[in-house]
Amino acid sequence: MTSVYSVADSNNKSLRSIRSFVRREGRITPAQQRALKDLWSRYGLEAGEAPIDFVRVFGRAAPVILEIGFGNGEALAAAAAAHPETDYLGIEVHRPGAGSLLRRLSVQESSNVRVMLADAKEVLATRIPEASLSAVHLFFPDPWPKKRHHKRRLVQPDFAELVRRKLRPGGYIHLATDWRDYADHMVSVLSQTPGLADAGASGQYSKLAEARLSTRFEHRGRKLGHEVRDLVFRRTD
């Protein structure tokens, strides 16, 4: 089912806001199902309304990185294992992918990751405290390649402004895509967002692209001959 929901725009008129995903369960393997059942209490964060208290959730004060749309979670699990000093929140709408991530986290005995099954845009707007994130990762978001679907792309001016507010000053958003026109659109939107600046994939940020583990959707794009672009924008205000 195509899902839409109502929000109020700045003039307080009701708008039909368009989601960046279509919720479909797809096939879930017994192992993914078991992981969701057995490991959710350890890694899952339930839907709710209160702002998330990261210190309480992780039991320590540490930098927090949010990954939006982690898919099967391979990049998130690898980052969490490589950086035990950092805490990670992963948000997905696809339950089988969350099951896969929980399995990985359990195998590698990670304690620095929490997972939410929710619309990341809603969570950002309502549950992530202002200036609380060290970074946001958005790797291979759905490209919605048809022109009439471009409005479904996650990276839009309101999303960019939301991300800016939730990043702490100096924090950054790291994006990767194999769709050239989506990359151009991302650059255009993010560079027009006051308080965000292109940090380039150079200098201290060049290592981010190297350190990012290749994901399933990245492999798919490369097989199609697509060039992959990594972008990094930093909060400057």
Ligand X SMILES: C[S@@+](CC[C@H](N)C(=O)[O-])C[C@H]1O[C@@H](n2cnc3c(N)ncnc32)[C@H](O)[C@@H]1O
CB 199 within 8 Å of CB 233: yes
Residue with smallest beta-carbon separation from ligand X: 69
CB 96 within 8 Å of CB 26: yes
Please pick, among 9, 38, 142, 181, the residue that the annotation labels catalytic: 142
In the complex with ligand X, the residue whose CB is nearer, 111 or 214, is: 214
We find the least distance from the C-beta atom of residue 181 to ligand X, in angstroms, to be 16
Calculate the alpha carbon distances from 102 to 75, 120, 133, 165 in Å.
Answer: 13, 18, 22, 29
Restricting to residues 125-164, name those near ligand X by CB under 6 A: 139-142, 154
We find the least distance from the C-beta atom of residue 210 to ligand X, in angstroms, to be 16
Residue 213 φ/ψ region, left for φ over 0, alpha for ψ in the -120 to 50 degree band, beta for the rest = beta
Binding mask 164-203 for ligand X (x = CB under 6 A): ----------------------------------------
64-68 vs 133-139, strand pairing mode: parallel
We find the least distance from the C-beta atom of residue 38 to ligand X, in angstroms, to be 22
In the complex with ligand X, the residue whose CB is nearer, 42 or 216, is: 216
Calculate the alpha carbon distances from 194 to 39, 154, 163, 168 in Å.
Answer: 41, 18, 12, 15
Restricting to residues 83-112, name those near ligand X by CB under 6 A: 91-94, 97
Residues in the chain: 237
Token pair for residue 56? 């309480």
Q: Which of 43, 70, 144, 159 forms a contact with ligand X (CB under 6 A)?
A: 70
Token pair for residue 199? 């940090």
Query: Which residue blocks in 66-166 are alpha helix, DSSP H?
Result: 74-82, 95-107, 120-126, 157-166
We find the least distance from the C-beta atom of residue 70 to ligand X, in angstroms, to be 6
Can you point out the beta strands (E) in the chain?
4-8, 14-18, 64-68, 87-92, 113-117, 133-139, 167-177, 196-198, 229-235
Residue 179: how many other CB atoms lie within 10 Å? 21
We find the least distance from the C-beta atom of residue 221 to ligand X, in angstroms, to be 9
Token pair for residue 28? 């879930």
What is the total count of residues that contact ligand X (CB under 6 A)?
23
In the complex with ligand X, the residue whose CB is nearer, 92 or 230, is: 92
In the complex with ligand X, the residue whose CB is nearer, 142 or 158, is: 142
In the complex with ligand X, the residue whose CB is nearer, 60 or 149, is: 149
Whether 9 is catalytic = no
Binding mask 9-48 for ligand X (x = CB under 6 A): -----------xx---------------------------
Residues within the interface to ligand X (CB under 6 A): 20-21, 68-71, 91-94, 97, 119-121, 139-142, 154, 215-218
Active-site residues, by number, are 142
